[in-house]
Amino acid sequence: MEYRRLGKSGLKVSEIALGSWLTYGTVTERAQSIACVKEAYDEGINHFDCANVYGSEPHAAEKVLGEALAPYDRDSYVLTTKAFWPTGKGVNDRGLSRKHIFTQVEQSLRALNVEYVDIFYCHRYDAETDLEETLRALDDLVTQGKILYAGISEWQPNQIANGVRLQREFNLHKFAASQPVYNMLNRYIEHAVIPICDDAGIGQVVFSPLAQGILTGKYKRGQSAPEGSRGATDKVKAFVERSLSERNLAKVERLEGVAKEAGLSLAQLAIAWILRLDSISSALIGASKPEQVKENVKASGVKLDADTVEKIEEILA
């Protein structure tokens, strides 16, 4: 496993990270979830992602992830969580108010059974809370040592720019991480998000690098989703189905040829392609089985040659 700096921060993260959305605390059994985390840790992954709302109820995935990481030295891994989405029916059970952020950080620390998280993300932008209130709450949590770095997830470029400007103006702790979607089928961050974050020293921790499994080649045109896959699982299949277009599956078929020529699986090619950019700190994968982790980590350190990158560009154009 190779490691990269998280933006301009001093934190080193494995270039492949493991997340827990739609898997741990949701559909993947507890023992299997723990086995995936163990496989990841043993393969050198030191970067584990969660959120307060992942799992079948708030903090459910955090409890499983906390249990899975309990055997390891806390200093040896980087643990992240997030808040924004509703956790209950109360008027203050959502968003990025000082109250909700503080409440959620406390509950997340309890669920994960740790004293601090390394990165705390604002899971989306909250148009109802004054940005300065959110930034000051994050700054206080860093000062208290409950979070070490703050990050944003899927904020618009102008929202990131405003946040960075206010942090500079008020001399607050800066954002260290941005967590947007990025994969061969969704490249919107290349032209807007990445340049702003590069300027501000913010590293990208990109989610769904395999487009939720589509970029492994297991979903085929004209065939139903393979048994046991996310695309065939009632609670979660809607998330995959929206990207299972003819157009995307046709691209995947051609990409499989490129992967074969490069001597890689399609999943490995898709991850190595993401890691071609220096702005990416980690590609944040999900895994429902330890074998998937084993296969995907082999993308670390793979440098795609110019010819391969050009062929991929042609297919994605």
**What is the spatial distance between Cα 93 and Cα 90, in angstroms, rounded to a whole number?**
5
- For ligand NDP, give the closer residue by CB, 132 or 302: 302
Sole binder of ligand NDP in the list 296, 297, 299, 308 (CB under 6 A): 296
Q: How far is the CB of 99 from ligand NDP (least distance, A)?
A: 22
In contact, 185 and 213? CB cutoff 8 Å: no
Angle, helices 30-42 vs 290-297, to 10°: value is: 20
- For ligand NDP, give the closer residue by CB, 141 or 285: 285
CA distances from 30 to 49, 66, 72, 82 (A): 17, 12, 18, 21
Q: Beta-carbon neighbour count of residue 234 at 10 Å?
A: 7
| Contact call for residue 33 and ligand NDP (CB under 6 A) | no
Closest CA to 212 of 185, 191, 187, 234: 185
Q: Catalytic residues, which ones?
A: 54
- For ligand NDP, give the closer residue by CB, 148 or 271: 271
| Contact call for residue 284 and ligand NDP (CB under 6 A) | yes
**What is the spatial distance between Cα 244 and Cα 212, in angstroms, rounded to a whole number?**
10
**What is the spatial distance between Cα 81 and Cα 130, in angstroms, rounded to a whole number?**
22
| Chain centroid to CA 68 | 18
* First vs last C-alpha separation in the chain: 31
Closest CA to 249 of 224, 276, 272: 224
| Contact call for residue 229 and ligand NDP (CB under 6 A) | yes
Sole binder of ligand NDP in the list 98, 136, 218, 237 (CB under 6 A): 218
- For ligand NDP, give the closer residue by CB, 6 or 169: 6
Q: Residue count at the site for ligand NDP (CB under 6 A)?
A: 30
Q: How far is the CB of 68 from ligand NDP (least distance, A)?
A: 13
- Site residues for ligand NDP, 69-128, by CB under 6 A, read 123
Quick one: tokens of 130? 């004054």
| Contact call for residue 178 and ligand NDP (CB under 6 A) | no
Q: How far is the CB of 183 from ligand NDP (least distance, A)?
A: 7
| Contact call for residue 288 and ligand NDP (CB under 6 A) | yes
Question: Mask 34-73, x = binds ligand NDP (CB under 6 A)?
Answer: ---------------x------------------------
Q: Which residues pair with 183 in a beta bridge?
A: 186
Quick one: tokens of 232? 């065939």
- Site residues for ligand NDP, 2-21, by CB under 6 A, read 19-21
| Contact call for residue 209 and ligand NDP (CB under 6 A) | yes
Contact set with ligand NDP (CB under 6 A): 19-23, 49, 123, 153-154, 179, 207-213, 216, 218, 229-230, 267, 284-288, 292, 295-296
